[in-house]
Amino acid sequence: MYSLAFSILFVSFIILTLLVRFWLASRHIRHVLAHRSAVPAEFAEKIPLAAHQKAADYTIARTRYGLLTLMVDTLVLVGFTLLGGLQWLSLQVFAVTGPGMWYQIALVGAYSVIAGAVSLPFDYYRQFGLEQRFGFNKMGKGLFFKDLIMWTGVGIALGLPLLWVVLTLMAKAGDLWWLYTWVVWTGFQLLMMVLAPNLILPLFNKFTPLADASLKARIEALIARVGFASRGLFVMDGSKRSAHGNAYFSGFGASKRIVFFDTLLARLQPQEIEAVLAHELGHFKLKHIVKRLAAIFALSLGFLALLGYLKNQPWFYDGLGVNPLALPGQSNDAMVLLLFMLVLPVFTFLFNPLTSIGSRKHEFEADAFAARHTDARDLVSALVKMYEDNASTLTPDPLHSAFYDSHPPASVRIRQLKLAAQA
Ligand SMILES: [Zn+2]
């Protein structure tokens, strides 16, 4: 009875999510098309019409492709759950491994292989079809497959021990296993923040200390002005894979470092780089990073508590096409982890605008911080170049933007920055 009700709820959320996503995408495409013929007045002097139209075409192509992958992902989700895919897979794996921990690990492994194999052609097309067509792909096919193998290796090296610990806690730690799992998970994420910049990312990219002496002096002056301690300024060879540019922070505490993509450095003037960095420093000084982490940890505690409850509810398995009694004597811990991970996004999608609101508030604050410590006009001209280079649309559908975008639309940000420059 509960199982059927849960199945119906699940299907309703899938349909609702699909409707909302298709509706937002079609609004977005119509809006971008309607503004394709002219550069918005406030950008008319800086962005050529051809670049504006490229951004429109790129946005539309990506939005359409997003709908295709959404359809495929939904079919895979329904196939694994309601159509009995996970149930079937668990029986196949069990026939090979027999009962015990290895069955559970193999089940998660088999699922990951299948899910990865389904998404591989789509990732391949995204890089060598879509990105290639708009001139963003800088990767050879060899590097694509080398990355795939290396990321799989990293995923196994990190994921396998973590999975083993979680499954052991689920089996042996009693009713509060989810709380201990939260402690482990939080510790794992903090550890990754230290390990990733020092051990993992260097496997994929080269990080060289910033060499340009005058730029370095300028940035160090800014860092001293705002009172920030960092372990260094690095340039990353992002151009090896993509023409998209970016700048970011990584690590925390004493291992903080600032990383610029070489693609970004090549395009921006020194004072623009300084302004972009001031924005990033603003996120740090205004405690956005700590707040975001705290929110993520609090949310994961809530979700794990929910998982702790669902683990013991037969309707959760039944309602998602899995018979929890199919393998007598074998625990369903790995199964409940997989089911939870698969269905959680269906139930949380509609809350997306809430995270977007929080994130956009932080972006405005970081922009205001940059305007206080550098010249706001430099950030404006850097933003204009970054929008042009990344072919990001200047005319998103407002509702689509409010739902998905972590950053406010360019025109809104720039209007605020111009006000700050006059003040
Ligand atoms: Zn930002």
The per-residue pLDDT for range 242-279, each reduced to its tens digit, is: 888 777 776 666 667 888 888 888 889 999 999 999 99
* CATH code of the domain made up of 203-287+355-421: 3.30.2010.10
pTM exceeds cut of 0.95: no
Whole-number Å distance, alpha carbon 17 to ligand 1 midpoint, is 28
Whole-number Å distance, alpha carbon 277 to ligand 1 midpoint, is 10
pLDDT at 254: 62
Exactly one of 131, 274, 280, 318 is catalytic; name it.
Answer: 280
Known catalytic residue at 131: no
Backbone angles phi, psi at 228, to 5 degrees: -135, 140
Annotated binding residue 373: no
Tokens describing residue 249:
């922070």
Annotated binding residue 283: yes
**291 or 230, which is more confident:** 291
Residue spans per domain, the chain: 3-174+291-349, 203-287+355-421
The per-residue pLDDT of the chain, averaged, comes to: 92
pLDDT at 253: 63
pLDDT at 62: 96
Whole-number Å distance, alpha carbon 171 to ligand 1 midpoint, is 42
Kindly report, residue by residue over 197-239, the tens digit of the pLDDT. 888 888 999 999 888 888 989 988 998 888 887 767 889 998 8
Known catalytic residue at 42: no
Kindly report, residue by residue over 103-150, the tens digit of the pLDDT. 999 999 999 999 999 999 999 999 999 999 999 999 999 999 999 999
Whole-number Å distance, alpha carbon 292 to ligand 1 midpoint, is 13
